[in-house]
Structure 1
C-alpha cells in the first residue's frame, strides 16, 4: 500500500513502480481510503502544533472573485476552499486509474465494498456530482450498486440537492437513477428512525416521489421497484406492494429474486403451502405462483414435492371450473 500511495503522490505509473501482489478487498479499500487523507486535505488541516492551540489566520476574501465564481457556478467555500486544486484533481485521476488497473492488470474483482470506497473518494474530491453519477451508473450496470453505496453522503443534503435539480432551468435535471437513489434512501432512512410516525412519513414520501417520477414520464427499472416494494413489505403495506408488483409486470419489468424475497421467506413460504395442503385448503392461484416463482429464483424448487404441486394445481383448476360453471347460472338468474 505504501508503494501505491508513493506512486499516486508522485504521479507515476503503477506498472513500473509496483509489483503485482495478490490484492484483497481490505488492501484495495485501504488504498482508496488513504487518497483523501493525503491529497484532499488543505494545508491548514495537516499536522498539529505542540503547546497551546493555534489557528492560522483566515484568508482574506475576494468578494469580487466570489461574485464571478457564483455566477459561473464554481464557487467553493468552507475547508474545501483552501485545498490544492491540482492535488485534488491528481487524487481523482489516480484513484480512477488504480480502480481500473487493479482489476484489469492484477485480476482483482471489485465488489460492493470497494465500489463504496471509490464512491466516497469521488464524493469527497468532486466539486460537482457529474463524475460521481457517471461512476455509479457504470457500477449499476455491473450489479455492484447497493443502498449503502449510494448513501455516501448526507441524506438531508441529498434531499436538498434533489429539490434544486427539480427547479426549472437547472443544468443537470434528475433522471431515473436519481429518483431511484432517493426512493431507496427514503425507505432505508425511514426504517432506521425507529419511530412509527417517521416510518409512515418516509414511506409516504417514497411513494410520492415514485408517482412524481411516473408523472414526468420516467420509466422505473427493477431496482426502483425492488426498493419501494421492500420498504412497503417491511412496513406491512402488502396491498401496496402487490400493486407495485402488478404494475411492474404490466410495464414489462421482469421481477428477480430480490423482488420475491421482499414478500416472503422461501422456507416459510414452502411450509405455508404444506400446511394448507394438509388442512385440505387450496391456496389461490396467485399465492401458489408467487411461492413457486420465489423458490425457482432462489434455486430451492426441490423443496416442493411433485405430488404436492400436482395436488395444488388440480385443486386450483377445479376451483376455476367451478367458478366458470356458477358464473353463467348467476347471469341467467339476473336476466330472469
Structure 2
C-alpha cells in the first residue's frame, strides 16, 4: 500500500460517502476532490462500497430467520438507489476524476458484487462479474453465494454457482459447501441432496469432505427442530442420521460439531437413547465432547422433569474436564427445579451460578425470587441480589447502547 501514502482511511471515507449519498451528488467527472487529495486506495474503495447497502438498507431479515423473507415494497426504491450508487461510485473511483486512481482489483470488485446482492440487482451483478471475470476469484464467488443465501435467494445462489465458468472460476470444496448451506438454510433440501449426489459421483471435480456432511446434518437438525410438526421433525432427524452413516461409509470421521448437531436434534425430538449411543461412540473414538454436547442432555432432562439426571450430567461434565457450567447450563436446571417445587435447591443453584461469575437472565432471577417468596424460603443474600441487579442493569444499558449505535449506522 506504499503507492497511497496520503489515502484516507476507510473510517474517514465512509462519512464523506454518506454526505454524498444524502446530497444525491452524482459520481462523474464533474465531482472532483480538492487538489491536495491523493486518491483512494483499493481498501478504502472496498470499505466505501461495503458501506453503501449498510447505510441505505435495513438489516436483512433472512440473517435472523431461515425462512425466505417476503420483500418489502418500501425497500424497492432504496435497493435501486444502492445499485445505482454502487455502480456510479465504482466507475468514478477508477476514472480520471480520481487523481492517482488505483487499478481495479479484487477487493473493490468483491465489495461491489456484495452490494449488488443486497440491492437484488442480479442482471447487473452477473454482468459485472462476467465483464471483470479475470479478477473474480473462487473466494469472491463463494462470498457472493453466501450473501445470496443469507438474503433468502437460493435460486440465484445456484445461478451464480453454475455461471462460475463465465467468471473464469473453478469452484472448490468451500464453494460447494457454501452453496449447500445456502440451499439448506432456505429449505431447499432436495436441491442440496442432488448437489451432494453430484459431488459423490466418480470423477467429480470436488469430492465431499467431513465439513460437507456436517453442513447438511446441522441444517437438517436445525430446520427439523424448528418444524412445528413432530412427524416432519423426526423425518428431518432421520435424514440427518442417514447422512451421518453415509459419512462413515465414505471413510470420513465426524468431529465434535457433527456429533453435537445430531445429539441436539435427537434430544429435542425425544430420542435420547440414540443420543446416548452417539455420546458413547464419541468417547470410544476419542472425540472429546464439550459443553455444547452436555448442554443438550441437560436441557432434555430438565424439560422431561428428570432434573436429577440433568444435574448429574452437569457435574459429570465438570469432573471429566469437558467444560465448565455456564448460564446456558444452569438456566434449564433452575427452571425445572422451580416447576417441580424444589425451591431451596433452585436457590442454591442460582447462588452457585452467580458466585461462579455467570449472570442469570432477568426472567430466571425473577422466577427464583418470586418462588422463594411464595414458598417462604430463606431469601437470597442481599449482597448477591445487589450484584445481580447491577449486572442486569449494566447488561440492559449495553444492549440499548448497541441497538442505538446500530440504528445510527443504518
Normalised TM-score (structure 2): 0.42
Partner Cα distance (1:234, 1:156) in 2: 24
Shift of 1:244: 0.9
SS of the residue aligned with 1:34?
Answer: helix
Q: For 2:283, what is the secondary structure of its paired residue?
A: helix
Question: Which residue is equivalent to 1:212?
Answer: 246
Counterpart secondary structure, 2:248: helix
For structure 1, the 5+ residue unaligned runs are 44-79, 100-111, 140-146, 277-281, 307-336
2:270 to 220, 236, 248: 236
- Deviations along 1:300-325, one digit per CA (max 9) or x if unpaired, are 7894999xxxxxxxxxxxxxxxxxxx
Counterpart mapping for 1:1-336 below 5 A: 13-15=41-43, 17=45, 26=54, 32-35=114-117, 37=119, 40-41=122-123, 83=127, 86-87=130-131, 89=133, 96=140, 116=150, 125-127=160-162, 128=164, 131=171, 133-134=173-174, 151=185, 154-265=188-299, 268=302, 288-290=315-317, 296-298=324-326, 303=349
Matched-pair contact (CA < 8 Å) for 2:49–2:115: no
Deviations 1:7-29 (A, max 9, x none): 9xxxx853454788997995597
Separation of aligned partners in 2, 1:228 and 1:16: 43
Whole-angstrom CA distance in 2 between matches of 1:19 and 1:161: 34
Q: Secondary structure at the match of 2:123?
A: coil
Cα distance in structure 2, aligned partners of 1:16 and 1:283: 52
Would you say the 8 A contact 2:220–2:239 is kept in 1? yes
Question: Following TM superposition, by how much is the alpha carbon of 1:167 offset from its aligned partner in structure 2, in angstroms?
Answer: 2.5
SS of residue paired to 1:207: helix
**Aligned-pair CA distance for 1:245:** 1.2
Secondary structure in structure 1 of the residue aligned to 2:238? helix
Q: 2: distance between equivalents of 1:172 and 1:21?
A: 33
C-alpha deviation, 1:286, in angstroms: 6.3
2-structure distance, mates of 1:189, 1:19: 34
Change (3 A) 1:34 1:237: same
CA contact (8 A) 1:92 1:122 kept: no
Deviation at 1:173, TM superposition (A): 1.9
CA distance 1:158–1:135, change in 2 (3 Å): closer
Provide the residue aligned with 2:87 in structure 1.
none
- Could you tell which deviates more after superposition, 18-27 or 126-135? 18-27
- 1:136-170 Cα shifts (integer Å, max 9, x gaps): 98x9xxxxxxx789736832211111122222332
* Structure 2 Cα separation of the partners of residues 178 and 36 of structure 1: 26
Offset at 1:290?
Answer: 4.6
Task: Tell me if the contact between 1:230 and 1:262 (Cα under 8 Å) persists in the aligned partners.
Answer: yes
Q: Deviations over 1:14-55 (max 9, x none)?
A: 345478899799559787353464764169xxxxxxxxxxxx
Is the contact made by 1:232 and 1:238 (CA closer than 8 Å) also made in structure 2?
A: yes
- In 1, the alpha carbon distance for the partners of 2:289 and 2:53 equals 30
In structure 2, runs of 5+ residues without a counterpart are 1-13, 28-39, 61-81, 83-110, 331-347, 353-410
Q: What SS is found at the alignment partner of 2:324?
A: helix
